[in-house]
Each structure stands twice: as structure tokens, then as C-alpha cells.
Amino acid sequence: KEPLTFTCSEEPKDKQTVDDILKKAKAGNWKIFDLKETAVKRSPRPPFITSTLQQTASSQLGFAPSRTMQTAQRLYEAGHITYMRTDSLNLSAVAIAQAASVIEKKFGKEMVEVRKYKTKSKNAQEAHEAIRPTNLAKEVVGMNDEQKKLYNLIWRRTIASQMVDAQMLRTKITAGVEDKSVPEFEANGSRVISPGW
């Protein structure tokens, strides 16, 4: 009994075609022609580098890039995060082990998946690490609300980067008028089977 929105598989070129499709669609008997389900995996994103931290802080926290960098600078000076000017996706062996330990305690051993990320840029500073908390056991850190929010963003991204994929099931339903006098209509959806990271 749930209402379901279908989209026409062919975009009508003019109003006359739209009216024609609507008229036939309302008069005809509808039928489901096909139902396909596909299992898909969604992998976690790599840990933050300078540009991705600025983008994510802007979209999720509403921080301007300068505000993000000033706040990160304070966290870095206080020893809470690694250097925030980096284009390396590397995490040290210590950080990976720490992340695995936190994930195991918080979510269970089966949620850990050690991942090493490769930096695409040829001239990346591989000596630096990605931006991460210096102590992943500390979930909340910072002198004010701004620092706490940014630290939490960095903490979550670092932890997620070492977790198993999310398992999703994508569904595509194709329906239309039985006599096929109009183009087919489609509805797409997906559901989480296992949330993973």
C-alpha cells in the first residue's frame, strides 16, 4: 500500500507526447515487467588530507576553509591531531593498530578491515601522514565547540577508513501499461543489509 514514484524511461520531447502518455497510462492496466536486485558494496573513504578536510567541514559543519584550518591548527598545536597540511593518505602502523583496537572495542572484531590507501599525486609528501587524531582512544577532544566538532569529524573519518564495507541491496523495478502503448517506467531504491563503516 506504499505509494511508489516511477520515472518515465524516455523523456518526452513535447507537451503533446506527455499528454498522450498520461492519457494511455491512466486508461491502461499497469503491470510490473521486471524486478532486479543487485548486491553492492560501499567502501569507506580514505582518511583526510587538507583539501578533503576543508570540503567535508564546509558541507557538514558549514566551516569556511580558513576557519577549518585555524581550528585544525589549534588542535595540532595542542597535540590532538597530526599535521593538517598534507596530501598524503598514509596512516602509520601505530595509527592503524590503534584504530583496529578502538573499532574492536566499540563495534566488534568483525568490523575491522585494515586498509592502506595510496596517494594518487606523484609529488605528494609521503613523509607526512593523513590528518588523524594522535590518540584514537580519545573520541571527544577540544577547548570549544568548534574544535570538538572538527576533531569528531577527523576521528570518525579515520575510524571509518579502517572498517568493513557497507553491504547494500539495490532494487530496480520496471513497470508500465500492459499493452506497452507507453514507454516503460522505472523506480530505483536501495537498502542497507549490513551498515559496515
Which positions are annotated as active-site residues? Answer: 83
Cα 91 vs. chain centroid, distance in angstroms? Answer: 20
Which of 126, 127, 128, 137 shows the shortest CA–CA distance to 159?
A: 137
- The cell for 130 is 593523513
How far is it between the farthest Cα atoms of the chain? 70
- The burial class, CB within 10 Å (0-12 / 13-18 / 19+), for 113 is middle
**Would you state the torsion angle of the CA atoms of residues 7, 9, 10, 12, taken in this order, to the nearest 10 degrees?**
-20
- The cell for 66 is 580558513
